[in-house]
Amino acid sequence: MHDNAHIAVVEDDPDIAAMVATMLQANGYRASTAADGAALRTLLGRSSDIALVVLDLNLPGESGLDICRWLRRTGTLPVIILTARGDPIDRVIGLEIGADDYLAKPFEPRELLARIRSVLRRTAAIPLGEPPMAEDAQEVRFGAWRLDHRRRHLIDANDTVVALSGSEYRLLATLIAHRGEVLPREVLHRLTGGADDVALDRSIDLRVSRLRAKLGDDLDGSPIIKTVRGRGYVFSEAVTPC
């Protein structure tokens, strides 16, 4: 269970920040608030146990999208974005750069609580995409890459860690687990715990695009994650336990 998990709430409206923090504390979580990116960095510097960030996009100074990009460059901390903007492109961009879920303002506190619980379950549980290998295969190799399931790290041939968001890790682990199988978008969306809004099924395409940019091509120049037109995506690279 995720009782007592420490949640960071990044929100410049003190009333909304206090409401969310009070709601979280009433449901067994610990909550810390930050009004902007600088305050969040200070909070993360002194608190090593933050489990999830609730991040407003419309912040003064550094935008929420820029903060989300920074979080993705520095780790895999789960992020739920909040936005009052009506343009759905903000939600799509947020998911594209690595947010795990989103919620539009005004929102019901119970819905935010449900999404927090869902993201914490997804990021803490053994992924549905865990490779069906020996139980001690905590790390697998494909091509020049290694994927460390314990740390959720993607490691290149030079032993450099390439940052993955939580959603990118789940997608890659799921594709690896079903190596050689063509997985339709809706199946990938369900297996990786995507947002319930079916209009955002295109987020799978965006996540695949991000993964391809990080992975590059295999030795023969073809994508490691292949598109099967009209059907979905397939991971065809050989996978072995390390």
Top CATH class of 139-241 equals mainly alpha
Reply yes or no on domain 6-124 having CATH 3.40.50.2300: yes
Tell me the C-alpha distance between 241 and 215, whole Å: 18
With both helix axes pointing from N to C terminus, report the angle between 37-46 and 64-74 in degrees, rounded to the nearest 10.
30
Residue 25's pLDDT band, with cuts at 50, 70 and 90, is very high
With both helix axes pointing from N to C terminus, report the angle between 89-96 and 64-74 in degrees, rounded to the nearest 10.
20
pLDDT tens digits, one per residue of 146-155: 999 888 889 9
pLDDT for residue 22: 96
pLDDT tens digits, one per residue of 88-108: 666 677 777 778 888 888 899
The whole-number average pLDDT for the span 128-136 is 39
Tell me the C-alpha distance between 238 and 169, whole Å: 18
Whether the Cβ atoms of residue 97 and residue 191 lie closer than 8 Å to each other: no
Checking if the pLDDT of 174 tops 90, the result is: no
pLDDT for residue 142: 92
Listed by start position, the domains of the chain span: 6-124, 139-241
Residue 11 identity = E
Residue 177's pLDDT band, with cuts at 50, 70 and 90, is confident
Same fold: 6-124 with 139-241: no
Rounded to 5 degrees, φ, ψ at 186 are -65, -30
| pTM of the complete model | 0.59
